[in-house]
Structure 1
Amino acid sequence: MTRQNTDLTDDEIEELKVFEEQLQSFVGAEAGPFLSWDRVNRAMIRHWCEAMGDANPAYYDADVAVQLGAPAGAVVAPPTMMQAWTMTGFAGQHPPGSDTRESMPVLPVFDQQGYLAVVATNCEQEYLQAICEGDDVNGRSTIESVSSRKTTGLGVGYFVTQLTEFRNQRDEVVGNMRFRILKYKPHSTAS
């Protein structure tokens, strides 16, 4: 713990130290697999590409896609769709067979301490191989890091980084995503 706020009492500093130790105990926590509701398919690829204005022929034309590693007759999905295949439905549920644990189990601990606001700060994706029509994508998540307490323009809080590894039905890693959020108390409620 760093002593960023000298206006804290010794008791508050000790409470903060215990809280930060609790947060660090979540680093390395794993969850998953989180399965996909549907196999990779042309209809969803087309909807995505139309929404994004992406006319890459590999996403529409199997003859072009085969040059990128797609099986004969299949198209490839835009790499940026990697996460979309494993997202929950409107009810917030993953499909049957998915891990039922929270993918970021540290979040309720923040809530209990009054860090109720959240904002996504950045997302880094690494694409390792093509995701092709017919693939069945799943994701496994790990809490990679929790920062020390930070004072930001939004308020006082902590950055949490989650690493998700995406695999296909052959258990091959197709990509990784680091997703970082700030869990914070807005300035008006920070103490």
Structure 2
Amino acid sequence: MVGKEFGRIYAWDEVNPAMVRQWCEVMGVTNPLYIDPEYALQTEFEGLVAPPAMLQSWCQSGLYQDNFPPGSTDDNPYGVLKLLEEQGYMSVVAVNSELTFERYLKMGERLYYTTRFDSLSDQKQTALGTGFFVTLKMTYFSQKPYGDEQVGELLFRVFKFKPAQVIETKTESKPAIPVIKRSKPGISDDTRFFWDGCDEKELRIQHCKSCDKLQHPPAPVCIHCQSFDLDYKVASGKGELYSYVVMHYPEIPPFDYPNPIGLIELEEGVRLTAGLVGVDPKNLSIGTPVEVCFETFDGDLTLPMFRTREES
């Protein structure tokens, strides 16, 4: 298989300012050549260009693995790694990633890359274990009507290996890892009524005596009329799912994953954020009727959670 060429993997999108801006924000890059159209227009490029180090990101599959645009090859350039796994070389570590660039990319260009299985080393013995260095080379092209143009290359090398056998040694017993508990809320004079209500299985919403309006989260002053004359009313606990997210990663103890979290619009008109329980995240939708339920964690922390309900 060494020397085998694999077909094209196309980019989902053309080189565009929005993705360049987002990439620069994440990476902390402030070069005006990438993000300031007026500045870039005065340069030799006569417009915005993409950061060279962004080259690899244009042709990545996105959120779902191997989800490439129509026309991309189905031939897996990483198939050699599967063959090594079948021989017992199950572990992998990346050891080299080297990008080279021919020129800047301009807005509107469409890219693809091809892959070459460049080399497979002899069997090596390392501190990690015994295995092989696998080297692939991805060559990136810009599609042109007069002939596609090479714009860069990525050398990617991994080590596929059988882990070195770990010799078990007796060690002194270590103290048990403490169980991670849910963080408790910061409670002030302005919010105490809400958390006391949770202990009483009541969903208490702050109420202004002056203008008779509700507000959440609690505050020291009415956000509607700036009155300090505040108390609370007990909500029905019924509402609907105004919005939601499902947390998958990073997994942070002590929460279970996937972890659905909802923005609930109560019948009384205010919204609050709370965990969703007893639901299949795949079946969630905006407008789903929900109702409050109270769950106690770690023996002393009672929180309002929401579950789906049947509409009456």
TM-score (norm 1): 0.79
> Structure 2 counterpart of 1:131, which letter?
L
Once residues 76 and 40 of structure 2 are traced to their aligned partners in structure 1, the CA distance between those partners, rounded to angstroms, is 36
The alignment partner of 1:165 has SS state of strand
Q: Is the 8 A contact 1:35 1:139 kept in 2?
A: yes
Once residues 153 and 86 of structure 1 are traced to their aligned partners in structure 2, the CA distance between those partners, rounded to angstroms, is 34
Once residues 82 and 105 of structure 1 are traced to their aligned partners in structure 2, the CA distance between those partners, rounded to angstroms, is 24
Once residues 126 and 109 of structure 2 are traced to their aligned partners in structure 1, the CA distance between those partners, rounded to angstroms, is 41
Q: CA deviation at 1:64?
A: 4.3
The reply to whether residue 94 of structure 1 matches residue 71 of structure 2 is no
The residue number in structure 1 matching 2:221 is none
The residue number in structure 2 matching 1:137 is 111
The reply to whether residue 151 of structure 1 matches residue 101 of structure 2 is no
- The C-alpha deviation readout for 1:115-158, integer Å capped at 9, x for no partner, is 11111101111100111111111100001111111111211111
The residue number in structure 1 matching 2:152 is 175
Work out which structure has the larger RCO, using CA pairs closer than 8 Å and 6 or more positions apart in sequence. 1
Q: CA deviation at 1:62?
A: 3.3
The alignment partner of 2:162 has SS state of strand
Aligned with residue 17 of structure 2, among 42, 46, 53: 42
The residue number in structure 2 matching 1:55 is 30
Q: CA deviation at 1:31?
A: 1.1
> Structure 2 counterpart of 1:98, which letter?
S
Cα distance 1:43–1:133, how it changes in 2: closer, same or farther (>3 A)? same
Once residues 61 and 137 of structure 1 are traced to their aligned partners in structure 2, the CA distance between those partners, rounded to angstroms, is 23
Q: CA deviation at 1:65?
A: 3.7
The reply to whether residue 109 of structure 1 matches residue 86 of structure 2 is no
Once residues 22 and 44 of structure 2 are traced to their aligned partners in structure 1, the CA distance between those partners, rounded to angstroms, is 21
- Structure with higher Rg: it is 2
Q: CA deviation at 1:61?
A: 2.3
Number of residue-to-residue matches in the alignment: 161
Cα distance 1:184–1:135, how it changes in 2: closer, same or farther (>3 A)? same
Once residues 158 and 104 of structure 1 are traced to their aligned partners in structure 2, the CA distance between those partners, rounded to angstroms, is 14
Q: CA deviation at 1:108?
A: 1.2
Aligned with residue 93 of structure 2, among 113, 119, 136: 119
Q: CA deviation at 1:63?
A: 4.5
Q: Is the 8 A contact 1:36 1:136 kept in 2?
A: yes
Q: CA deviation at 1:96?
A: 1.0
Unaligned runs of 5+ in 2: 167-312
Once residues 154 and 37 of structure 1 are traced to their aligned partners in structure 2, the CA distance between those partners, rounded to angstroms, is 37
> Structure 2 counterpart of 1:176, which letter?
E
The residue number in structure 2 matching 1:33 is 8
What is the RMSD computed on CA atoms of the aligned residues? 1.5
Unaligned runs of 5+ in 1: 1-25
Percent identity reads 40
Q: Is the 8 A contact 1:68 1:130 kept in 2?
A: no
Q: CA deviation at 1:99?
A: 0.7
TM-score (norm 2): 0.49
The reply to whether residue 128 of structure 1 matches residue 105 of structure 2 is no
* Higher helix proportion: 1
The residue number in structure 2 matching 1:186 is 163
* Higher strand proportion: 2
